[in-house]
Structure 1
């Protein structure tokens, strides 16, 4: 039986800003976005009380919380703090799987530091994080990753929650299906149409029923309803791709997708700032009303250097969609793939510059 922790920093970016600027403490802080444009990267708990959430358009955040203080993100600073936190994790176990700068799975079945329980290990890690960074973290403790992730959100902020093996069924039965990771608003609405509101309701459907309605995701729903998740904690898994996608309330023609593509590009670009690796390939994903999935991609000579460039490429990929003009689309996604280590990209760029100069080129490749 595994002992898995999911450690999740509390309002990480906003908390770093409040820690480093006393004038922001106790105030509704929004990182990213602006009063006029952009997407929210993070919101302090003072701002969340008004309904402000990450990935929300900045203009909507301003409407919800007129007194919000908008702060531009400082990802190098967030990455530095994240490295401090990662070092603490590694003192307790080598089985650490980062999900982003502010959260990770840890397998503490056999911890490096003797501990009476996984609960005690989580408490020790959270205490070390606060002592080192003056930031709080929440933790979920459970026999698998799926349950640990749900549990970490249970007593936020600055808390932890344990789900013991014998408690799994009783814990899951009354849980709203929307709490299952991967179940968004569209899937939740489809489940409601089937009379499914809770995980207990979901457990009443066969594997075949769910697969017929949801395809491969139906298999995942069947297993999650029973608390089954055999995925191991996989350390040192480098980021390969990052994307954001959205399913529309009603199907739209290609000509009407520009605002959605711009919004998804911004969400994806913000997510790419959470990794030290650099992506090269821009990907546009579309799903038709008939559930046909199309992807179009482009790899420029140099990685996209800005949100504007990334968005421009994503929008240009529409020109490579060759379906009839009256085709309707139910989903759009924008992603960045082909990630490489930052040092590798810098070295490659340096070599290109030297080659270009050696050839007498007045405009070296950037």
Structure 2
């Protein structure tokens, strides 16, 4: 191995060491100059040239290259130990944030605020535990933990806004449905307090059940005002409509008793009812005293039993029933009496058969 050694010593260049930098080669020790040149050749033979981007660097280019490297290090463009730890923790942070998002996305919005808050706290705790188990370093881990907390707060804020939007959208839809239903109940063909109360209760129950989330409280106030206003308006018009319907019904009974079935007693009762409603009540009773009279309450109860029940909704089936009754009356008028007049078959019949004929036969 000693034969492959390239080591050799350099003698002292000159006795005056403080003036070496000012001396020329001819003033130095000749053996030193010889050995120095030998060292240059040895180093040149061992060291390979520095090639950057396909170009061989000289001393000036190499210095410029070192300056660029230093600038990149100062700007953080070249990874250092701290930056590598930060990148490693950043990957863990993204993973924890993904876990938080997936757990929160599993919730179908809208939901009550306390339920969303409860899930946020539970999922946030799971994400922090996962980060504490996998993070690297101490100083950089603390910074990454703060960043994770800020990111989770931002995501949670977005979920709060989305939950509020979905809640407002759902409650607005249910409110509009109830409002349309109340408007429909205001214009019933046959006014019925029982039907209005049934629709009122169903609408209120469906709204309370379906409307959830942060917008529920404000929409409940709007719903209460709308329902109270609808009920007051319906009650105000209910008695007037019922009075008009009873007057119309009495006139219809007069026509039926007089011209259709010709039942004198029915006609008399209908006339008495019409005169009572249009004359006596207006002369001796005011509208308020009529509507609060016990007799009127009996009439209202009877009307409600006829118009609306769980079995039959007369407001929906009034027109088909009237058509069927009209056809029945028409059939009875046209064919019922005819059958009473003509007994037997409606077809003409011969009195004598062909065999009993006394007419002489002609050949």
TM range (shorter): under 0.3
Larger radius of gyration: 2
Higher relative contact order, chain-length normalized (CA < 8 Å, sep 6+): 1
Whichever structure has more helix as a proportion of its residues is 2
TM-score (norm 1): 0.21
TM-score (norm 2): 0.21
Whichever structure has more strand as a proportion of its residues is 1
